[in-house]
Amino acid sequence: MKKRILYIGRFQPFHLGHLDAIKQIFEKESPDQLIIAIGSAECSFDRKNPFTASERYVMIEEALEEGGIIDKCSIIPIANINNNAIWVHYLRSILPDFQKAYSDSYFVKEIFKNSDIKTGDIQKRLPISATQVRQKMLDNQEWQKDVHHKVAEYIQSINGAERLINVGIE
Amino acid sequence: MKKRILYIGRFQPFHLGHLDAIKQIFEKESPDQLIIAIGSAECSFDRKNPFTASERYVMIEEALEEGGIIDKCSIIPIANINNNAIWVHYLRSILPDFQKAYSDSYFVKEIFKNSDIKTGDIQKRLPISATQVRQKMLDNQEWQKDVHHKVAEYIQSINGAERLINVGIE
Amino acid sequence: MKKRILYIGRFQPFHLGHLDAIKQIFEKESPDQLIIAIGSAECSFDRKNPFTASERYVMIEEALEEGGIIDKCSIIPIANINNNAIWVHYLRSILPDFQKAYSDSYFVKEIFKNSDIKTGDIQKRLPISATQVRQKMLDNQEWQKDVHHKVAEYIQSINGAERLINVGIE
Amino acid sequence: MKKRILYIGRFQPFHLGHLDAIKQIFEKESPDQLIIAIGSAECSFDRKNPFTASERYVMIEEALEEGGIIDKCSIIPIANINNNAIWVHYLRSILPDFQKAYSDSYFVKEIFKNSDIKTGDIQKRLPISATQVRQKMLDNQEWQKDVHHKVAEYIQSINGAERLINVGIE
Amino acid sequence: MKKRILYIGRFQPFHLGHLDAIKQIFEKESPDQLIIAIGSAECSFDRKNPFTASERYVMIEEALEEGGIIDKCSIIPIANINNNAIWVHYLRSILPDFQKAYSDSYFVKEIFKNSDIKTGDIQKRLPISATQVRQKMLDNQEWQKDVHHKVAEYIQSINGAERLINVGIE
Amino acid sequence: MKKRILYIGRFQPFHLGHLDAIKQIFEKESPDQLIIAIGSAECSFDRKNPFTASERYVMIEEALEEGGIIDKCSIIPIANINNNAIWVHYLRSILPDFQKAYSDSYFVKEIFKNSDIKTGDIQKRLPISATQVRQKMLDNQEWQKDVHHKVAEYIQSINGAERLINVGIE
C-alpha cells in the first residue's frame, strides 16, 4: 500500500514557511505521495482569503517545481462544509486514504483528535505566518521575501497586493 | 506556459472507456498536465453514484499506474455547486488554468459553449457506459471486463456491487 | 397602500398561456403592481429547466413590452431554498408586501394554504404547458406557435432547442 | 452508561409497521432510551415527503402515547446534509451517543456498514410500507387502517391526503 | 391540547443560568412539555461554539436528570438555516406546535416579534453567561462552579477547556 | 438593444448617498433601465444587516417614487452565493444583460475586474455611509436626516432602530 501523507492549509498565500513544512514532512515521512490540500477552496477576494484556489494551486506548483519535489505531491482544493465536527470525515470521503495528517493549525490538529488519524508536528523554523504576509501587503511593506520568488512574481502578475487592499476597504 | 487539459466525468465507476478517452487525449494533445476532475465528488451511496470520490480517486490512480501515464495526470475531486450556468466559472476558480476541456457528456460540452474554453471530441471506441456497468452490477452480470482489472479488484475489495444493490432497494 | 399581486412560475419557457394568465390577473385585480417571480432562478441547462433566469427575464420582458403592460410589472428572479414548508415565508421576506398570489401550479397553491395569503384562480384558456413546449423542442416539432413571436425569436437566437436536446442526452 | 438505541426513518407517514418496529426494538434491546430520528426533516409538500417534521413528530407522539412507551422515546428531527458518505458521522455529532442503529431501509443499513456502529434487524411482520400508504392516499383508497387511529385522525385534521394529491399534480 | 413551551439557546456550554431559566419556566408555565432547542447544532470546534450538539445534549440531560425535571423536557438540536427573517417559521416547521418561546437572547426575542408566537421573560438571577464561562476556560480560571457539577465532570472528560484553547489559537 | 446599467449595494438602510448615486448614474448614462440589485438579500436581523430585502425594496421604491425616476428602475433582491470568485457570473446568470456596473463598494469593483464588465465611478458628494447610519441608530442619535423622509417614516413604522439595538446585544 502507498504511504500517503496529508498536509492541509489555506495557503493565503503560500509562503516559505509552508515550503519548509513540506520539506520537513518529506524528511520525516518519505511518503510515496504528499497530498497538499488547499482548504477553504471556495473563499477568495476577502481579507483573510484574498486568492482563489486556482491561484493558490499555481503558487504551490511553481514553488515546488523549483524545489524538485513536485512529482510526489498532489495538490487538491477542498471546499468548506461548515461543520467542523465532521470535517475530517469529509476529507476522508474525498481524498484517497492517508495515514497521517500535518497542519500548521492548532485548530486542524484539535479536530483530528476526534478521529483515528494521527497528526504530525511541524517545527516552526521560519518566523513567517500568512496573516503577517497579508498584513505586510496591506501596509505596503516588503512581503516578497516571505514567499518563494516564483510566488512573488505570480502574485505581482495578478496584482495580488492591490486586490487585498481593495477588498479590505470597508 | 504549461499546456493543461481538463478531462471531467463522474467515473461511477471508472471504466475502460474512460481509460481509452484519456489515451486519446494524450495522443491528440500531448499535454504537460491532464487534470482529471472527479465530478459530483460529494455524491455516493446512491444508484447513480455508488462510489465516494475517495474510492473513485483510487480506481483512476490504479488504472493509470498500470497504463504508465499517471505522472502527467492530476486527479482532483470537485463537489457540485448545483448551478449549471456558472459551473464552468466555478471550475476555473478552483483549478489551475486549462486550455481545453474534454468530457464524454453532451451536457458538459453544452455548458462549456457559454464560456471561451474550447471542448474537444472523444471518439467512442469501446461500447461501454457507466450506466451500463452499474446495471450489470445490479443484475449480477459480468461487469468486471468493462473495467481495468485493478479497478475490478478494488471494487470487489469494497463490495461495490453489493453496495449498489443495497442502496437501490426502495 | 399599493395593491400588489404576485404571479409565480418557472417559465421554462415563458409561453402564451403565461401571457394569458397575466392578462387575466390584470383584468380581475387591476393591481398597481404585478410581481412576476421567476422561480427556480438558479436552475438552468437541465431537462426541466433549460433556460437561465437571465434568459427567462428577457423572454418575459419582450413578450410584455409588446403587450403594453410591462410598466406595471416587476420581474424578480427567486432562487430555491429547498424547504417547501417555509418557502412562502421566504418569498415574503424577499418581496415587497403583496395581497394575493397567482400560480398555474397546484403545488404552489397548496403551499400558500399554510399562510394567510389568499391565492387566485387562473382559467386555463389556452391548451399550452411548458412541459409540452419542451417536449416539442426535444422532438423537433413546431413549438414556436406556443410562445410569443418575440420569445420564439429570442430562444432561436440562443439556440435554445438545441441546448435542451444536448442537456437531455444521458 | 445509558443504553441508547437509534431508530431512523422518514415516517411519511408514521404507520403501523413503524410502530411494530419500535415494539420489536424494545423487546430485543430494552433500551434506556430510544432515539426516534425523523430523517429528511426539511422535506415536505412533495410526493415522497408530504408531511413536515412538525407533523411527523405529532404523529409519532400520538401513536406512542397510546402505546405507553413514549416515556423512553426521544423524537428528534434531522435535516439532510446531502452527503451520504458522512451522514452517519453527522448523526453522531448531533445525537447523544447510541450503541446500535435500526432502520427499515437497506440504504441506511448499507451506510452504517462504513462506521463502527452495529445495526439491528427488524422483522417485517406487517405488510405495510409508507410508499404504499401514500399511493393509497393518491388513489383515494382506504389508507386509514395502515396507520394508528390517532395518526389517521391527525392526518385528516390537516387534510393530508388532499395535500398529497395537490402537490403531486404536474 | 398539550401545553408546549420552547426554550432555545446555544448552550455553549449549558450553565447554571440556563438551569435556573428552565426552573423559572416550569414555575411560571407548568408546561406539559418543555422543548429545549439546541441552536447552531452544526457548530462546534470554534471559539464561540466549542461543543458539538451531541455533547451539549448530554450536558443538558445530565444536569436535568439530577434536577428531576427531565421527564417533561425534550431536547432537540436545530441546525442553522442562515436566514434570520424566516428562522421562526423554520422552527415551527420542525418542532411540534408550541405556545410560547423563551430565550436569554434579545436577538431571539426580536425575531419572534415578527411572528404570532409570544415570548416570555426570564429573570437573570445568576450572574453567569456562556461567553464568560468560555472566557474563563480560555484564561485557565475557575469555570467549574458556573456549571452543574455533572456538566463540569463531562466537560473535563472530553478535555473541553483544552479544546477551546486550541481552536482559539490563530 | 436596451442600455441596462447595474447598481448594486446592500442598502442597510437605503440612504441619501445611495439616492444621489442613482441620480449620478442617470446623469452620466441615461440608461433605458437601471437595475438596482439588493445584495445579501437573505440577510436581516443582524448588526450589519438589520433589514429584510422586502423592507429594503420598499425603502428604495418610496425614495425613488418621490424622486420620479422609479419608472426606469427595476429593484431586484439577490441572495448571496458565498463564493466571491464567481459572484459576477452568478449576477449575470440571474439578471438581464447589463453593460456596466456601479457600486459604492471597492470590494464589488475589485470583483468586477475579473470579468469583462466595466465599472463606473460614483462621486461621493454626501458624507453618509450605511455603517454610520446604523451606528447613529445604535447610539440613539439623529439618523433620520441621512435618509429620505419617506424612508425615515418607513423605518420608524417598523421600529427599525429598536430592532438594530436588540439584535446587537450580545
- Give the closest residue to D93 by CA, choosing from A162, E43, B59, F132: E43
Nearest residue of E to residue C93, measured between CA atoms: E85
pLDDT value at residue D114 = 83
pLDDT value at residue B170 = 64
pLDDT value at residue A98 = 98
Percentage of chain E exceeding pLDDT 70: 99
Residue C106 pLDDT > 90: yes
Average pLDDT of every residue of chain D: 96
Whether residues B107 and C42 touch (CB distance < 8 A) is answered with no
pLDDT value at residue A168 = 81
- Give the closest residue to F124 by CA, choosing from F30, F33, F21: F21
pLDDT value at residue D170 = 64
Q: Which residue has the higher pLDDT, C100 or E1?
A: C100
Question: F3-36, pLDDT tens digit by residue?
Answer: 999 999 999 999 999 999 999 999 999 999 999 9
Residue C170: band (very low, low, confident or very high) from pLDDT cuts 50, 70, 90: low
Residue E54 pLDDT > 90: yes
3-class state of residue A119 by DSSP = strand
Residue B26 pLDDT > 90: yes
Specify if C170 maps to a domain. Answer: no
- Do β-strands D33-38 and C100-103 pair in parallel, antiparallel, or remain unpaired? unpaired
Residue A167: which of F82, F83, F110 has the nearest Cβ? Answer: F110
What Cα–Cα distance (Å) separates residue B156 from each residue in A78, B153, B161, E145, F39? Answer: 28, 5, 7, 56, 50
Specify if F169 maps to a domain. Answer: no
With beta carbons under 8 A apart, name residues in chain E contacting C93: 83, 85-86
With beta carbons under 8 A apart, name residues in chain C contacting E85: 89, 93
Residue B166: which of D82, D83, D107 has the nearest Cβ? Answer: D107
- Mutate which of D80, D81, D83 to test chain A, going by most A C-beta atoms within 10 A? D83
Q: Give the whole-angstrom CA distance, residue C94 versus residue F52.
A: 7
Residues B18, B127 contacting (CB under 8 angstroms): no
**Is it true that the peptide bond before A13 is cis, omega within 30 degrees of 0?**
yes
- C149 at E interface, C-beta within 8 A: no
Q: Side chain identity at A166, as an amino acid letter?
A: N
> How far off is chain B from F76, nearest CA to CA, in Å?
19
Residue E122 pLDDT > 70: yes
pLDDT value at residue A86 = 97
Q: Domain containing C114: what range?
A: 4-165
- C83 at D interface, C-beta within 8 A: yes
Residue F113 pLDDT > 70: yes
**C53-67 core/surface letters (b: 16 or more CB in 10 A; e: else):** bbbbbbbbbbbbeee
- Look at chain A and report how many structural domains it folds into: 1
Whether residues A93 and B61 touch (CB distance < 8 A) is answered with no
Whether residues B83 and C42 touch (CB distance < 8 A) is answered with yes
With beta carbons under 8 A apart, name residues in chain A contacting D86: 86, 89-90, 93
- F42 at E interface, C-beta within 8 A: yes
Specify if C59 maps to a domain. Answer: yes
Whether residues B45 and D110 touch (CB distance < 8 A) is answered with yes
Alpha helices in B68-129 (DSSP H): 87-94, 106-113
Specify if F140 maps to a domain. Answer: yes
Residue B85 pLDDT > 90: yes
Residues E86, C89 contacting (CB under 8 angstroms): yes
- A80 at B interface, C-beta within 8 A: no
CATH of the domain at D143: 3.40.50.620
> How far off is chain F from C40, nearest CA to CA, in Å?
11
Specify the DSSP class assigned to residue D156: H
Specify if C129 maps to a domain. Answer: yes
- C52 at B interface, C-beta within 8 A: yes
- A138 at F interface, C-beta within 8 A: no
- Which positions of chain A have pLDDT values less than 70? 170
Average pLDDT of every residue of chain C: 96
pLDDT value at residue F43 = 98
Percentage of chain E exceeding pLDDT 90: 95
Residue B95: which of A57, A93, A97 has the nearest Cβ? Answer: A57
**F85 membership: H or E segment, kind and range:** none
Average pLDDT for E16-26: 97
- Which grid coordinates belong to B82? 448545483
Q: Where are the beta strands (DSSP E) in chain F?
A: 4-9, 33-38, 73-77, 100-103, 118-120
3-state DSSP helix/strand/coil % of chain D, to nearest 5? 50, 15, 40
Question: D57-114, pLDDT tens digit by residue?
Answer: 999 999 999 878 899 999 999 999 999 999 999 999 999 999 999 999 999 999 999 8
Percentage of chain C exceeding pLDDT 90: 95
Residue F170 pLDDT > 70: no
pLDDT value at residue A170 = 64
